[in-house]
Amino acid sequence: MTGAPPAVLVHRDAEVLAAAAAARLVTALADAQAARGSASLVLTGGRNGIAVLAALAAAPARHAVHWGRVDLWWGDERFLPEGDPDRNATQAREALLDGLPLDPARVRPMPASDGPHGADVAAAAKAYAAELAAAPGAFDVLLLGLGPDTHVASLFPGLPGVREEERWVVPVTGSPKPPPTRISLTLPAIRSAREVWLLAAGPDKAEAAATALSGADPATAPAAGARGTERTLWLVDETAASALPRA
Ligand SMILES: O=C(O)[C@H](O)[C@@H](O)[C@H](O)[C@H](O)COP(=O)(O)O
């Protein structure tokens, strides 16, 4: 498989994991800005992804990042009306984004179900792909949560999105995790990122982490296919690491 082989970092618990990932994010974004002038970050939904944003909101070191020169994208979105509390973008805004001096033109949430494409999730996914295609440069850091069934973003085992080889963004229907209709980046898009960080905390993630890290087929274990070109980092807590072979 192409991409950087995964490195696993185990933290004491979910709280330490979120704080450590937030600190790591400050460094990664500041480094990217020092090297290239701007930084590009892909956000994810779920408890762990949002906990990292909340930890960042509480970290004084966040001021080391020039937030006006950060491009924000989303790895997946629940296809719901704008402002819905279950939208990943709504949760990210509340946890962190509303308190940062971001450039609104650089914040690109995935379309909502009452947006310009209405309820047409395929058109919404296509529009997001076009937006991505028009943006220069690779993602610096792409965050993912890990589902207990090894899903990442909205790529679920057995659904067609995980097998997509051409498109970077797909509509998802029939998601086993509610809501059923979603938009997701695909594995080719995820694999274009310099760094991919997978976040997992809790005993319900132990088996999924062990499966994905044992070289499983991404079609049945999507997380196994999530790798960055330069770095793949699994940031897990002790309970999520409990089924991994000891290093
Ligand atoms: O929109 C979503 O639901 C996600 O992006 C999804 O992929 C999530 O990241 C995982 O299900 C992990 O979620 P938890 O961190 O809550 O376990």
The pLDDT tens digits for 192-216 are 999 999 999 999 999 999 999 999 9
Between the CA of 148 and the centroid of ligand 1 the distance, in Å, is 9
Between the CA of 95 and the centroid of ligand 1 the distance, in Å, is 15
Residue 85 lies in a domain: yes
For residue 192, report the phi and psi dihedrals to the nearest 5 degrees: -80, -15
**Measured from the CB, is residue 76 less than 6 Å from ligand 1?**
yes
Ligand 1 pocket test, candidate residues 42, 44, 205, 239, most atoms within 8 A of CB:
44
Atom number of ligand 1 nearest to Cα 47 = 16
Residue 1 lies in a domain: no
Structure pTM?
0.98
Q: What is the CATH number of the domain that holds 117?
A: 3.40.50.1360
Residue 242 lies in a domain: no
Q: Are 112 and 84 in contact (CB under 8 A)?
A: yes
**Measured from the CB, is residue 45 less than 6 Å from ligand 1?**
yes
Residue in the block written with tokens 């966040």: 62
Residue 119 lies in a domain: yes
Low-confidence ranges of the chain (pLDDT < 70): 247
**What contacts 237, CB < 8 A, 6 or more positions away?**
10, 11, 12, 13, 14, 16, 17, 200, 201, 202
Q: Are 65 and 56 in contact (CB under 8 A)?
A: no
Kindly tell me the sign of the dihedral angle through the C-alpha atoms of 104, 29, 26, 193: positive
The pLDDT, as a whole number, for residue 196 is 99
**Structural domain of 215:** 6-237
User: Count of domains in the chain?
Assistant: 1
Residue 195 lies in a domain: yes
Residue in the block written with tokens 């980092």: 233
The pLDDT, as a whole number, for residue 246 is 78
**Measured from the CB, is residue 44 less than 6 Å from ligand 1?**
yes
**Measured from the CB, is residue 175 less than 6 Å from ligand 1?**
no
DSSP run (H or E) holding 236: strand 231-237
Q: How far is it, in rounded angstroms, from Cα 215 to Cα 1?
A: 9
Beta-sheet pairing, 141-145 with 39-43: parallel
The pLDDT, as a whole number, for residue 197 is 99
Identify whether 179 is preceded by a cis peptide bond (ω within 30 of 0): yes
Using CA positions, which residue lies closest to atom 5 of ligand 1? 45
Q: Is the ipTM of this complex over 0.85?
A: yes
Residue 247 lies in a domain: no
